[in-house]
Amino acid sequence: MRSAGRPGPAPYLARLSAAQGPGGGAMMRFMLLFSRQGKLRLQKWYLATSDKEKKKMVRELMQVVLARKPKMCSFLEWRDLKVVYKRYASLYFCCAIEGQDNELITLELIHRYVELLDKYFGSVCELDIIFNFEKAYFILDEFLMGGEIQDTSKKSVLKAIEQADLLQEEDESPRSVLEEMGLA
């Protein structure tokens, strides 16, 4: 029987050739969120790629991940990258990392993101992410930048997001809001 998707080179071999990648071998290339039906809910790319190529990669990778069975491990090889994925309810969270990246910590990075979403939305579900997609992006941006984790303190990330929300509710110029908050 055929296994879904083409396997890439063994990670240790990828490690040895790691210096060739733009990230020096350790960089998150992209993150995808998609449903079991293959609907893409969020896509964040950390390396410039053409739209055509992005669509192709998304299609391929979704196929590979959706074909995996529940008991299988959370890591797989795809093209020349490592993919770390985890399913939360109806959503698959999928990160593609380079050869030298640490798989387990990426798994926890995914978990941290889910925790943030959960705290923000209050028991987050897929619908939240559909209807508030721009918020999902903002939270992700507060947490990851250029593919690297920005702040690992849950508290400070949530604080930053909540402050942004407060800013939204004020009609006055943001400058005075900041002054009120004592940030300026």
Site for other proteins in 151-170 (CB under 8 A): 151-156, 160, 163-165, 167-169
Whether the CB-CB separation of 43 and 30 falls below 8 Å is answered with: yes
Where in 91-150 is the site for other proteins (CB under 8 A)? 100, 102-105, 107-109, 111-112, 120-123, 125, 127-128, 130-135, 137-138, 141, 145-150
Among 35, 74, 88, 118, binds other proteins (CB under 8 A): 74
Closest of 61, 67, 63 to residue 84, by C-alpha:
61
Q: For residue 32, list its beta bridge partners.
A: 43, 94
Q: Is 116 exposed, middle or buried (0-12, 13-18, 19+ CB in 10 A)?
A: buried
Q: How far is the CB of 120 from other proteins (least distance, A)?
A: 8
Q: How far is the CB of 41 from other proteins (least distance, A)?
A: 9
Where in 26-55 is the site for other proteins (CB under 8 A)? 26-27, 40, 42-43, 46, 48, 51, 55
Whether the CB-CB separation of 147 and 23 falls below 8 Å is answered with: yes
Q: List C-alpha distances in Å: 82 to 11, 22, 133, 138, 158.
A: 7, 15, 26, 25, 29
89 binds other proteins (CB under 8 A): no
67 binds other proteins (CB under 8 A): no
Q: Which is nearer to other proteins, 13 or 89 (CB)?
A: 13
Q: In the block, which residue shows the tokens 């995914």?
A: 110
Q: How far is the CB of 113 from other proteins (least distance, A)?
A: 13
88 binds other proteins (CB under 8 A): no
Contacts with other proteins: how many residues (CB under 8 A)? 88
